[in-house]
Amino acid sequence: MMAPPALDQGPAAPQPAIHPRWLRVTHWLNALAVVIMAMSGWRIYNAAPFFDFTFPNGITLGGWLGGALQWHFAGMWLLVANGLIYLALNAASGRLWRKFLPVSPGGVVRDLLAALRGRLSHADPRRYNQVQRVAYLFVMVDIAVLVLSGLVLWKSVQFGLLRDLMGGYEAARRVHFFAMALLAAFVAVHLAMVALVPRSLLTMIRGK
Amino acid sequence: MTDKRRLLPGLDAPAILREAGKLLDRRVEQPSRRAFLRRGLTLGGLAMLSGCSLSDDESVEKALSAVSRFNDRVQGWIFDPAKLAPTYPESMITRPFPFNAFYGIDEVPQVDEASFRLEVTGLVADKRRWRLDELRAMAQVDQVTRHICVEGWSAIGKWGGVPFADFLKRVGADLSAKYVGFKCADDYYTSIDMPTALHPQTILALTYDGRTLPPEYGFPMKLRMPTKLGYKNPKHIQAIFVTNTYPGGYWEDQGYNWFGGS
């Protein structure tokens, strides 16, 4: 898909925000929640690692297992409440469909190749390319999987159906872990992209 | 458990931030804006959160404890006494079942059966002390369930004994009281909510895998609740009391969540 021509930005015509305020607020609250959940989660993982490695304590949160659990079970409210507000506003405003659809495998491959060749236009920050669309949709689903698998770990008896869907308690631990690893990978790529296009950081702070 | 430490590929945050910082320096000319962006790249003070400074802060600790108490209430509302934990065939029992306590296996208390008497106090009609064979004379059940530790690991075991609801009714406990507390021979102590105490799978376990409960698994008795994490399942119980005053617990007083289960 070709990028549309850049809009004429005359000083007389004030532009509406690229990112509405509610989006910027929920984005940064989500970033805070994800940092808290990941760093405390690593400490919890360290208490009984199921792979041949642990996370360095220096990048974990909570100081010990009990402290990490307190952070994790406090951060979860921020993650879930903020995530639900984000999804509700996204759906109600129509932004979810306007910004993230359509998305197609062919379009993703095309935009990905263009990005790798350095030929992807960032002329219009209002428009997400197909790689962005699929990445942002993915991270929404991934966080939902984290929350659902987390519910199984927290309440394996009360959420029996969810537990069985995950393949049991022990399988849910792995689901939770891999969903975390994918989220961490997303964050790494996301930060690298922000570093390449610093203006995107400013638009997420100032709105334009 | 292992001490090997290795980062996940793609998770080298400091390197990523360094790299991003270099890129920014090249692209952003104004020094003030550069500094601003660089601060932004610390991920909202990631470094600050990871240090002990924030966790050790008293107000943060208080706030986290307050959320933990709020979570106790939420979990009380979520708890459905009719929901049962899954049970397993005996072939799935974890062998050997792991020993776990706040001390080593060589420090396990040895309780003498002949002189042992279970103390029952608080909001109960019958405060007489119980001999072990009196408990064995009551109707027994056994079940194969998953024990889940707060650390995350789990193991399947088989416990048998007296349904705790039967015991509480037998001693005329006030079933509308809030808490049931436990004091143990190893100086451990904990307490649970009454709805969990009355859950059909909560048993005053006297046996493990068909044999008298061995010392390492909590002789003379352990409260076995498949709906609660390991630290909520007291071993070597010497005294049971029913109360409306929050009794806390060994780990709970140090920060583990009091409800601690499903």
From B16, B37, B50, residue closest to A191, measured CB to CB: B16
Q: Evaluate if residue A147 carries a pLDDT over 80.
A: yes
Q: pLDDT of B105-145, one tens digit each?
A: 999 999 999 999 999 999 999 999 999 999 999 999 999 99
The β-bridge partners of B205 are B161, B222
Cβ proximity of A150 and A43 under 8 Å: no
Tell me the average pLDDT of chain A.
Answer: 91
CB < 8 Å to A29, chain B: none
Token code pair at residue A44: 């919890």
3 state SS of B56: helix
CB < 8 Å to B147, chain A: none
CB < 8 Å to B8, chain A: 181, 184
Q: pLDDT of B69-102, one tens digit each?
A: 999 999 999 999 999 999 999 999 999 999 999 9
Whether the CB of A7 is below 8 Å from some CB of chain B: the reply is no
Query: Are β-strands B179-184 and B237-243 bridged in parallel, bridged antiparallel, or unpaired?
Result: antiparallel
Query: What ipTM score was computed for the predicted complex, to two decimals?
Result: 0.87
Query: Are β-strands B119-122 and B237-243 bridged in parallel, bridged antiparallel, or unpaired?
Result: parallel
- Percent of chain B past pLDDT 90, that is, above it, reads 78
The β-bridge partners of B5 are A54
* Average pLDDT estimate for B161-181: 98
CB < 8 Å to B150, chain A: 47, 65, 69
Of A48, A49, A44, nearest to A76 (Cα)? Answer: A44
Which residue does chain B place closest to A152, by CA atoms? B262
Hey, where are the domains in chain B? 8-51, 82-254
Cβ proximity of B200 and B87 under 8 Å: no
CB A66 to CB B49 under 8 A? no
Q: Evaluate if residue A10 carries a pLDDT over 50.
A: no
Q: Evaluate if residue B22 carries a pLDDT over 70.
A: no
Q: pLDDT of A17-54, one tens digit each?
A: 789 999 999 999 999 999 999 999 999 999 999 999 99
* Predicted pLDDT at B24: 52
* Average pLDDT estimate for A78-98: 96
From B21, B71, B149, residue closest to A48, measured CB to CB: B149
Cβ proximity of A146 and A120 under 8 Å: no
* Predicted pLDDT at B52: 46
Q: Evaluate if residue A1 carries a pLDDT over 70.
A: no
| Cα of A93 to nearest chain B Cα, Å | 28
Query: Are β-strands B203-208 and B222-224 bridged in parallel, bridged antiparallel, or unpaired?
Result: antiparallel
Q: pLDDT of A113-134, one tens digit each?
A: 988 887 777 777 788 989 999 9
- CATH architecture of the domain B82-254 equals Alpha-Beta Complex (3.90)
| Cα of A125 to nearest chain B Cα, Å | 18
Token code pair at residue B249: 């617990």
Residue with tokens 């390492």: B216
Lowest mean pLDDT among B10-14, B47-51, B95-99, B147-151: B47-51
- The DSSP line for chain A is -PPPPPPP--TTSPPPPSS-HHHHHHHHHHHHHHHHHHHHHHHHHHHS-SSS-B--GGG-SSSSHHHHHHHHHHHHHHHHHHHHHHHHHHHHTSHHHHHH----HHHHHHHHHHHHTT----S-TTS--HHHHHHHHHHHHHHHHHHHHHHHHH-TTTTHHHHHHHTSHHHHHHHHHHHHHHHHHHHHHHHHHHHHSTHHHHHHHH--
- Percent of chain B past pLDDT 70, that is, above it, reads 79
* Predicted pLDDT at B55: 52
Whether the CB of A49 is below 8 Å from some CB of chain B: the reply is yes
Q: How sure is the predictor about A16, in pLDDT bands with cuts at 50, 70 and 90? A: confident
Q: How far is CA A156 from the centre of its chain?
A: 25
Interface of A with B in 132-171 (CB under 8 A): 153-158, 160, 163, 169-170
pTM of the model: 0.84
* Average pLDDT estimate for A60-88: 97
How many residues in chain A?
Answer: 208
Of B136, B137, B146, B159, nearest to B213 (Cα)? Answer: B159
Question: How many interchain CB pairs under 8 A, A with B?
Answer: 141
